[in-house]
């Protein structure tokens, strides 16, 4: 294992998949791994601990039979394992793990692209809003869209993604300009670098004329600001995510154009916990089941809880004690509400806030300081490389790598590849709330 990643024998995995399941699609259904996740780990030649365990379990092999003690340079994927490059434009990062969302994805796809008309074209819904509370998985859901092997979705090109965030009036103009110019650069449109918003919008609209772009706007708080990014045409598809029902309705006024993303079922919640903390669930199944219900099926909270439980089993600590400590935090928060609320997180309950506070209790001083400072990155969710973070934190890459690995294990950060990490908006808020 290197940098929180498990390297494995790609050739051996491909051979077993071909012999036992006939195809990668057949194996993905058997293993519950999304096709995009399977393609990604086969392309990379490594997986996170949770995905690696799931892969070994689905193949029916011990972990040691697949694991490679290889350096990243030696683990170059074989040509047969390579997948097609990502879509042109500015695409979101492909989610590594998606659990319990197949129905939601199918329904979203149905709303975006309806049955072909007689001429073979598709009738599209111009703007669709995905509404849900913080941490429910809105970003993850829409980030799957560009990577699915679906002819109707693959016809929506180029892809233009942006995380908008909560902006003041003064911040909005700068942020919109940055987003529009970045789209122009990605599409190689000349003259956008120093152009003003109206000119960049005009250049983008002209470039996209006759095309069918997929525009993904994440974490929208203000409808008027978001409308500045509607640069498509009548054939384009625009999807926004928001926590605000009024924003969703204003931007997607048509009947059926707002999709409410709910929390996971109990079964899916337990599956997610098993991905991150299988040993803990096996040690204390009843306590983990009650905890999953406590968390109300919120994916981000389940991921962080899985990190806590995994850390406990790695230290041979009592899983039951960790669960009780979360309940203790919950009781304390309930006793002092509303003062116990984290700013901006009024739509999540005290149990989830208890998990967030408990998640950073056992961090070392350097881990806590790094996490707190990473919460101040300007974009939310913030995507950064280890080199950028090292400069930002004034640390060497070598010393920072072990810190980031621990934060990933605890579910406080997400790792997208060897060098790229992401901190969710909700986790950034928690990081900024830590005492300095």
Whether residues 102 and 210 share a domain: the answer is yes
91-137: pLDDT as tens digits? 888 887 788 898 999 999 988 876 444 444 444 447 899 999 888 99
Q: What mean pLDDT do residues 334-353 have? A: 56
421 and 336 in a common domain: yes
Tell whether 254 and 280 lie within a shared domain: no
Of 62, 22, 59, 20, which is closest to residue 41 (Cα–Cα)? 59
CA 426 to chain centre: 12
- pLDDT of 4-36, one tens digit each? 567 788 888 888 888 888 877 778 777 766 665
| CA 30 to centroid of chain Cα atoms | 23
CA angle, residues 396, 397, 403, in degrees to nearest 5: 95
Distance CA 147, CA 99 (A): 16
pLDDT band at 69 (very low <50, low <70, confident <90, very high): low
Domain termination site, one of 14, 48, 81:
81
Quote the pLDDT of residue 193: 85
Contact 401, 3 (CB under 8 A): yes
Q: Which of 47, 92, 84 is nearest to 381 (CA)?
A: 92
Asked if omega into 338 is within 30° of 0 (cis), the reply is yes
Is 255 in the same domain as 272? no
The percent of residues in the chain predicted with pLDDT above 90, rounded, is 24
Q: At what angle do helices 365-374 and 425-433 cross, to 10 degrees?
A: 120
On whether both 133 and 276 belong to a single domain, the answer is no
**SS3 (DSSP) at 7:** strand
The model's pTM is 0.74
**Can you give the residue range of the structural domain that contains 251?**
89-260
**Domain boundary residue among 48, 81, 114?**
81
| Number of folded domains that form the chain | 3
- The single residue listed with the structure tokens 């739509």 is 347
Q: Which of 50, 65, 81 is the last residue of a domain?
A: 81
Give Rg (Cα) of the chain.
22
State the Cα–Cα distance between residues 396 and 380, nearest whole angstrom: 24
pLDDT exceeds cutoff 80 at 365? yes
For 344, residues 6+ apart whose C-beta sits below 8 A from its C-beta are 166, 429
Most confident of 2-16, 77-91, 203-217, 293-307: 203-217
């Amino acid at each position: 294992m290197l940098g929180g990643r498990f390297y494995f024998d790609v050739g051996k995995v491909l051979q077993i998949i071909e012999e036992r399941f006939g195809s990668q699609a057949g194996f993905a259904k058997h293993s519950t791994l999304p096709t995009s996740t399977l393609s990604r780990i086969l392309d990379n030649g490594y997986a996170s601990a949770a995905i690696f365990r799931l892969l070994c379990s689905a193949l029916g092999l011990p972990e040691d039979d697949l694991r490679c003690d290889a350096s990243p340079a030696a683990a170059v994927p074989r040509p047969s394992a390579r997948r097609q490059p990502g879509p042109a434009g500015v695409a979101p990062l492909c989610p590594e793990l998606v659990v319990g969302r197949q129905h939601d994805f199918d329904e979203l796809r149905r709303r975006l692209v309806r049955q072909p008309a007689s001429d073979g074209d598709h009738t599209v819904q111009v703007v669709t809003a995905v509404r849900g509370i913080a941490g429910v998985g809105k970003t993850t859901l829409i980030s799957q869209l560009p990577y699915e092997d679906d002819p109707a979705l693959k016809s929506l090109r180029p892809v233009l993604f942006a995380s908008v965030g909560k902006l003041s009036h003064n911040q909005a103009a700068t942020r919109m300009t940055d987003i529009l110019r970045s789209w122009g650069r990605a599409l190689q449109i000349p003259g956008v670098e120093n152009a003003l918003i109206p000119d960049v919008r005009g250049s983008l609209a002209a470039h996209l004329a006759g095309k069918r772009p997929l525009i993904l706007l994440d974490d929208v708080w203000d409808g008027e600001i978001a409308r500045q990014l509607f640069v498509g045409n009548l054939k384009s598809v625009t999807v926004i995510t928001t926590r605000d029902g009024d924003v969703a309705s204003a931007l997607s006024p048509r009947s059926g154009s707002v999709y409410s993303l709910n929390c996971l079922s109990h079964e899916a919640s337990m599956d997610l916990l098993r991905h991150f903390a299988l040993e803990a669930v096996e040690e204390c199944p009843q306590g983990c089941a009650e905890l999953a219900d406590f968390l109300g099926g919120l994916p981000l909270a389940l991921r962080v809880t899985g990190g806590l439980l995994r850390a406990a089993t790695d230290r041979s600590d009592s899983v039951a004690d960790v669960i009780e400590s979360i309940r203790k935090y919950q009781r304390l928060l309930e006793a002092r509400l509303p003062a116990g609320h984290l700013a901006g997180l009024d739509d999540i309950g005290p149990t989830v806030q208890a998990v967030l506070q408990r998640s950073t209790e056992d961090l070392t001083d350097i881990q806590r300081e790094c996490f707190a400072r990473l919460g101040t990155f300007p974009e939310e969710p913030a995507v950064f490389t280890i080199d950028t973070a090292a400069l930002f934190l004034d640390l060497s890459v070598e010393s920072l790598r072990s810190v980031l690995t621990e934060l990933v294990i605890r579910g406080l950060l997400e790792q997208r590849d060897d060098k790229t990490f992401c901190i969710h908006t909700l986790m950034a808020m928690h990081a900024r709330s830590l005492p300095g």
